[in-house]
Amino acid sequence: MRKAVINAVLFPALAVVVALAIFYFVRRRRGRRRGRSVLPSHGGGARADRFQAAGASGGYVAGGEEALLRFLGGEALTVAAILEAPGEVVAKSSHSTLYRAGLSAGEAVALLRFVRPACAAGAEEAAAAARVLGAARHPNLVPIRALYMGPRGEKLLVHLFYAAGSLRRFLQEGINDSQRWEIICKLSIGIVKGLDHLHTASQKPIIHGNLKTNNIMLDADFQPRISDFGLYLLLNPAAAQEMLETSAMQGYKAPELIKMRDATRESDIYSLGVIMLEMLAQKEVANDKSPNVRDVHLPASFKDLVLERKMSEAFSSELIKQSKNSGKEDNLNAYFELATACCNPSPSLRPDTKKILKKLEDIAR
């Protein structure tokens, strides 16, 4: 009887003690999480593919202050909506990671670019640059919805998501539409319109700095949208330079940038010329590992064709066939000449966006 009484009193008491211990452990663990960055560290494997806010939505105090800059179309976004959005990694680079995420506010799906704290510019500098970039609005630009700046220096850009993917993917997959002359003209004109807006619509031009097929998104109706314009402004100098070097390895870097550090409108035009050549050749560019600065500064896959004016060899066989059947051979040659003019080794001899656009519209007729 005595043993039964002891058990009746002892076990409930032990259960209460265990429950309190578990509660204390959980609370303490959550408290520690609130002091850490809510963004992924990216130090682990490639499957670090979910955003989870640790603790309350906002109100992080450890390490500094946080801020959320909202732009047109992102007025309903909150810190919680961005940081708690489950996401999937779609691309990685030395300076950032790109996620496709489902938001609880605004668009159902968005692209979130997480700029690593070690690569990000200072908060004031980044905020000033983001306000300029966030104000850029054009049918051929990917609009920035918001910029989150975290307490540890992390930056998170919110973009629209385009299910059709990038121009690079469009060309690589060898879709029949990518070899249609009218589609190539439409894409080229759209890209130049977007670039012209960046270069001329503001009192101070916005330089893209990293224009390539991977940074051009497509609508369902083949309307191109330039993304990541001015991204280097949100990076510290070392990370921005590394981004330019990566672009150079991929064949998009203008020759003058070997001596200059800052991208210009003319260097953007050079990158545009390479993109136009890619659309003609239906293949990815490849550059020399150690280019000779005395040569024509073009990716190796196009250099000989330009030097020897073997224009027909630069085109896909389907484009040649179409041009012959439709009597557009002169248009195709004119397009090639325009693309190579954009890649002129002398920046001052490259046409500006206005001249390129007028020429393209004439060629497309």
Q: Which residue has the higher pLDDT, 323 or 365?
A: 365
Q: What's the rounded mean pLDDT across residues 40-60?
A: 32
- Distance between CA 85 and CA 83 in Å, rounded? 6
- Distance between CA 287 and CA 249 in Å, rounded? 6
Beta strands in the chain (DSSP E): 67-70, 87-92, 96-102, 109-115, 144-149, 155-160, 216-218, 224-226
Could you tell me which of 176, 140, 143 has the C-alpha nearest to residue 159? 143
Asked if residue 51 has pLDDT above 70, the reply is no
What is the separation of C-alpha 131 from the centre of its chain, rounded to a whole number of angstroms? Answer: 17
Asked if residue 36 has pLDDT above 80, the reply is no
Handedness of CA 164, 167, 173, 178 (dihedral sign): positive
- Residue carrying structure tokens 């051929």: 140
- Distance between CA 306 and CA 296 in Å, rounded? 8
- 108 confidence band (pLDDT: 50, 70, 90): low
What pLDDT, on a 0 to 100 scale, did the predictor assign at position 211? 94
Tokens of 337: 């000449």
Asked if residue 18 has pLDDT above 70, the reply is no
Tokens of 61: 């105090």
Q: Which residue has the higher pLDDT, 255 or 21?
A: 255
CATH of 67-160, one of 3.40.470.10, 3.90.1170.50, 2.40.110.10, 3.30.200.20: 3.30.200.20
Tokens of 193: 């319109």
Per-residue model confidence as pLDDT tens digits over 76-94: 888 988 888 888 998 888 8
* Residues whose CB is less than 8 angstroms from the CB of residue 50 and which lie 6 or more positions away in sequence, other chains included: 40, 86, 87, 88
- Distance between CA 240 and CA 263 in Å, rounded? 10
Average model confidence (pLDDT) across the chain: 77
Q: What is the CATH number of domain 167-364?
A: 1.10.510.10
Q: Where are the domains of the chain?
A: 67-160, 167-364
- Distance between CA 356 and CA 276 in Å, rounded? 11
- Residue carrying structure tokens 């704290």: 117
Element (H, E) at 31: helix 2-34
Q: Is the pTM of this model over 0.95?
A: no
Per-residue model confidence as pLDDT tens digits over 210-228: 999 999 999 988 899 999 9
- 279 confidence band (pLDDT: 50, 70, 90): confident
What pLDDT, on a 0 to 100 scale, did the predictor assign at position 171? 87
- Distance between CA 320 and CA 6 in Å, rounded? 95
Question: CB–CB of 51/112 below 8 Å?
Answer: yes
Asked if residue 40 has pLDDT above 70, the reply is no
- 291 confidence band (pLDDT: 50, 70, 90): very low
| Maximum average pLDDT range among 46-60, 128-142, 155-169, 273-287 | 128-142
- 348 confidence band (pLDDT: 50, 70, 90): very high
Which ranges of 174-328 would DSSP assign to H, the alpha helix?
181-200, 237-249, 265-281, 300-307, 311-314, 317-326
In DSSP terms, which residues pair with 143 in a beta bridge? none
DSSP structure class, residue 321: H
Q: Which residue has the higher pLDDT, 141 or 38?
A: 141
Per-residue model confidence as pLDDT tens digits over 119-152: 999 999 999 999 999 999 999 999 999 999 998 8
